[in-house]
A and B are shown apart, each in its own frame.
Chain A
Amino acid sequence: MARIVIDRLSVAYSGMRVIDGLSLEIEEGSFFTLLGPSGCGKTTLLRTIAGFNPVQSGTLRFGDRDVTNLPAHQRDIGMVFQDYALFPDKTVFDNVAYGLRARRVDAATIRRKVGEALERVGLSAFPERHPVALSGGQRQRVALARALVIQPQVLLMDEPLSNLDAKLRVQVRETIADLQREAGITTVFVTHDQEEALALSDRIGLMRQGSLEQVGPPEDIYRRPVSAYVADFVGAANTVPVDLEAPLAAGMPTRVNLGGIPVAALAPEALGAGSATLVARPEDIALIRGHAAGTLPGIVRRKQYLGGKTAYGIEVAQRQLAVDLHGEDHSGFAIGDPVGVVLDSAKTLVVRS
């Protein structure tokens, strides 16, 4: 168990920089998720932490150990791969025992520890099976047991759930959460799935083209995105380009112009004057019947009844806004209805474009 400290780290593939001067601290025992679209460098960063990619510049520490130039096999990590990476010619038991044998643990202890590890992932029934005889979810549980049984300093997982179907994904996700909490191992989890990230993490690092766009707890990332990129990537968001006449300090309320009507909003981070983006989540917008004063006049153009809520598309100032209504009578508006759109001034944000 160790805290991970990354300092101005750069990684390149044949001259092309993929990670660019990235700094990050991950608390001891916490669950940290690297989130971002495909190609943004999540895998590269994770593999650099593991020791599979050479560092171009910067340092990497586990606790007080500088591991920047330490070979992967000496880093004391556990790793879980998207394709499970089980040894196909070895039984479930031998797969899990592999790391212990490499550490020359005695046979009795191996038997006990492997037994416990398999128990914890709910697979004690078939230690003698080969990986081919297991389902995808079971395979990933074996991989998890194999990585955890050596009680590594750091647990690294690269999209471990993305080869599983939706239902299994939720089950294995819960197993991962439980095990991590029990073992208290510092964990770095890579995913492009925002729901996974929100559900599992203590903190999330949202990546964009090789650097971190925002780091924080799930609520912060969702509630106080620092940029349109973050707001767009995590959850649904209406984003509207706006123009700021003056710079804004962090947390400062302001009014921005939306189709000629001023709208109250908040800046979570300091912003310079010029172009910015207005962010409003669909569930933070209310509708009023008819065009009332102090509201944005709109027309209902789309409507999808979804049971617990209704998703509307409202045309406002030549733009479609997505609006989700919950609560009683959420399906009460019809296509073509004139409506007044009300943005929640505490939850409507102005952020970097």
Chain B
Amino acid sequence: MTAQVRSVWFWLALAVLVILIVTLLYPLINVLASSLSSARADGRSGWSVLLAEPKYLRAVANTVTLGAIVTLAATAIGVPLAYVAARYDFPGKALIAILPLTTLVVPEVIAAQTWLMMLGNNGLLTRTLAGWGIGLPSFYGWPGLITVMTFIYYTYVYIGTLAAIRGFDAQLEEAARGLGTSPAVSRLKVMLPVVLPAILASALLVFTLVVGNFAVATILGHKVELLSVLTYQTFISEVSTDPVMQSTLASVSIGLVALVLFLQRWVVSRGRYEIVLGRGAKPVAMRGLKSFGLALAAALVVIISLLPLATVVAGAFTVSRGPVMRWGEWTTAHLWRVFVNAPDPIINTLLYAGTATLISVFFATLVSYLIVKKRTILTPAIDYLTALPLALSGTVIGIGLVMSFNSGWMAITGTGAIIVLAYVIRRLPFGIRNASSTLYNIPNSIEEASISLGVPPLRSFAKVVLPLMIPSVAAAGVLVWTTTVAELSASVVVYSGGRETMPIQIFRLIDSGLMAQASAYGFVLVLMIVIPILLATTVFRLDIFGSR
């Protein structure tokens, strides 16, 4: 009987492996292989073109430079903010707690858009300041890229560092103080080695996100050539004739991200994480001028982080004439258009993201159960494959899918299925990491205790394991949903006319300069993100950010 059960799990694992190979490994191999072939019209290989044309090398250099600058800037904001949040109490501190929410609630495309509405050529601030005779430099190019990405990504450093400091054993620090070193010195000496790996790991994560970023890069990049933008443009213009260059560029980005992820892994494995279980230090209450300064600095970060939200809401209700916003004059015409005249993007988003979330949650739960509780010889392969999407930007995933499923037995290019597939693949590592960590915390003995008391295995799983998994799986589902409805970089590659999702529609409207229309869709999109989060946390009392 047990042998039979084991073989059922084996066949399930095999099925999962086949699915992963077809939908994930095969497209990836297609991209890499195509970059090596010399099937270009002029007979040159993609790599020789890459090395010969300065445009491509510049794109690589620009991408790495941007990644480095944003990583540094995000760390410079995220680390002090985390330290202050962990160690000090001051008026208004509670506001900082909502920061992790902002990146979740404001999709990148909306962040880029709203910064433009403030500081772009037609931006509110640009015009106001111009009215006072102050000319701002153009926000397009480096200033915009750095500013916007920094204010999107610093939250990752903040969250990572905060967790590490909170877990840092306060007693250790006190012990060091007992040895006679001054508090400041002992703090640095003792805490840094423990917290540094966490900072480095989150900083490297930021770097990979910058390399893969499509929305901000395309909307604000302007004349700054970037890898992701160039890859997308090559794809758009040469999709049917010359897939070699797009594959080569995609391969460069895969290599870059894989290298950094490898580095990150190494950093994490060297980290002294064994001490993280301890009592966190009590926050010190701050008074007087110092507390005022802290509150001010923190408030500034919070306000800048929330600015996109305010702008998109205001923009959705503001009268516009073409690209010109008439701030202060209100209307509901844009929303009327969104809901009544052109609701297709809303319907498409609900349909595709909803389907993808359901599939994603189900598949992630199944795969995690196989990985954690029913190990077979196939498990390591499944383990590695499901981590692959971490090294692939949305653009790369999209290109791989289109290349692979254009024709043949699974010709889904041009259908809604390919959008759903792209969504599921992008969220796969997150879903599995979440479900696995839940499963690791549920000891096998609970299931066995139930069986020993006379309840058959499957019913035991349903009666004692599933109830323990549901809160975290549901929380992960909400997060998958919120990030999937905001997904742009893969879906913009694989979608076809009539299947625009909200982020794609917003992207296109920004391209045409129709900011008010874009805001209206953006406002609805934010609602589609915020409402489920509110429902989940208040009505169902899920700990959403525990699963992040």
Contacts and interface: CB of A to CB of B under 8 A. Distances in A.
A76 B443 CA distance: 22
B455 A54 contact: no
Contact of A79 (B3, B448, B456, B468): B448
B464 A77 contact: no
A232 interface: no
Contacts of A150: 453-454
Interface in B419-454: 443, 445-446, 448-454
Contacts of B453: 73, 78, 98-99, 102, 146-147, 150
A89 interface: yes
A72 interface: yes
Nearest to A99: B453
Interface stretch (A58-66, A80-88, A183-191, A320-328): A80-88
A8 B456 CA distance: 28
The interface centre, meaning the residue of B443, B449, B464 with most chain A CB atoms within 10 A of its CB, is B449
A91 interface: no
Contact of B468 (A72, A82, A89): A89
Interface in A138-182: 143, 146-147, 150, 156
B1 interface: yes
Contacts of A99: 453-454
A81 B445 contact: yes
Contacts of B2: 52-54
Contacts of A72: 448, 451-452
Nearest to A55: B2
B450 A98 contact: yes
Mostly, the A contact residues are loop
Contacts of A73: 451-457, 460
A165 to B, nearest CB: 19
Given A87-B464, A89-B468, A52 B448 contact: yes
Main secondary structure of the interface of B (DSSP, over half): helix
A103 B467 CA distance: 21
Contacts of B446: 85-88
B455 A89 contact: no
Contacts of B450: 87, 98
A83 B443 contact: yes
B449 A102 contact: no
Contacts of A296: none
Contact of B454 (A69, A89, A102): A102
A259 interface: no
Contacts of A234: none
B468 A88 contact: yes
Contacts of B1: 54, 69, 71
Contacts of A82: 445
Contacts of A87: 446, 449-450, 464
Contacts of B464: 87
Contacts of B451: 52, 72-73
Given A87-B464, A89-B468, A79 B449 contact: yes
Interface string A98-119: 1100110000000000000000
B2 to A, nearest CB: 4
Nearest to A95: B449
Interface in A32-82: 50, 52-54, 69, 71-74, 76-79, 81-82
Given A54-B2, A85-B446, A89-B468, A78 B455 contact: no
Contacts of A83: 443, 445
B375 to A, nearest CB: 10
Nearest to B453: A99
A211 to B, nearest CB: 23
A273 to B, nearest CB: 47
Contacts of A54: 1-3
B445 A78 contact: no
Given A78-B453, A81-B449, 19 more contacts: A50-B452, A54-B3, A69-B1, A72-B448, A72-B452, A73-B454, A77-B452, A79-B449, A79-B452, A81-B445, A81-B448, A86-B446, A86-B449, A87-B450, A99-B453, A102-B453, A103-B454, A146-B449, A150-B454
8 contacts: A50-B448, A54-B2, A73-B460, A81-B449, A98-B450, A103-B454, A146-B453, A147-B453
Interface of B: 1-3, 443, 445-446, 448-457, 460, 464, 467-468
Closest A-B pairs by Cβ, 10 of them = A99-B453, A85-B445, A79-B452, A85-B449, A54-B2, A81-B445, A102-B454, A102-B455, A73-B451, A72-B451
